[in-house]
Structure 1
């Protein structure tokens, strides 16, 4: 028991001071999306992102952008403040 009491605290991993950085996917569309959000001053919907990227406003394009926005939100790069409304997290 004495040995266990001494070794268990030593085995605990130290808490990392900073969270790991999240890498942006390599596809150029993600770079364009992040450029749109860098210039935006308010949360955006997928349709507004399509317009800012000069994409045709077709259901297929809007859905593709929405899926990419959701992926970015899952990774913590963007936040979805309400359903379908995306923004950059406050830093």
Structure 2
């Protein structure tokens, strides 16, 4: 008899454990379903952002090509801030550094405050970037764009100064 009671309580214990395991499995399945739905939503956001970024890059490339083919295109008026695409307008009378994107404005202001022409490696730490090769080269590219657009001059290779404004 004792053996039958022991078997009965063992079976009962196993059934209780099985029921508890079933509850845990069901809870995990609900969590998996919720996470799967969230994952799909985030994948959709990622795909939309990727397409948007690629489209913007294509448009900017096309605009760049049009600027080169058609010459300077004035897109920014005095006092208007451009948010989004980084655009450096050609300098003209009455245009202030306020129309430039932040990093370009910082570069022009640092160069304007200097007592002599500056190199990219001198400018980088003054605009709050680490003086590493990538940041120096990126800043050099921005300096060249500012020269092309009439904001700065490069009197000697690699040395930048404010463009004279007596023209």
TM-score between the two structures when normalised by the length of structure 2: 0.39
- Unaligned residue ranges in structure 1 (runs of 5+): 1-19
Distance 1:81 1:36 in 2: 17
Structure 1 distance, partners of 2:148, 2:164, is 16
- Structure 2 CA distance for aligned equivalents of residues 81 and 66 of structure 1: 14
Give the distance between the partners of 2:151 and 2:131, measured in 1 at CA. Answer: 24
CA deviations 1:8-41 (Å, max 9, x no partner) are xxxxxxxxxxxx7176664210111111022111
Matching of residues 21-32 of structure 1 within 5 Å: 21=92, 26-32=100-106
Give, in whole Å, the separation in 1 of the partners of 2:110 and 2:150.
17
In structure 2, the residue matched to 1:76 is: 150
**1:8 corresponding residue in structure 2:** none
Query: Could you tell me which residue of structure 2 aligns to residue 34 of structure 1?
Result: 108
- Paired residue for 1:52? 126
Worse overlay, 25-34 or 64-73: 25-34
C-alpha root-mean-square deviation of aligned residues, in Å?
2.0
- d(CA) in 2 for partners of 1:53, 1:81: 22
User: How many residues of Structure 1 are paired with residues of Structure 2 in the alignment?
Assistant: 72
Show structure 2 runs of 5+ residues with no match: 1-90
1:31 match: secondary structure: helix
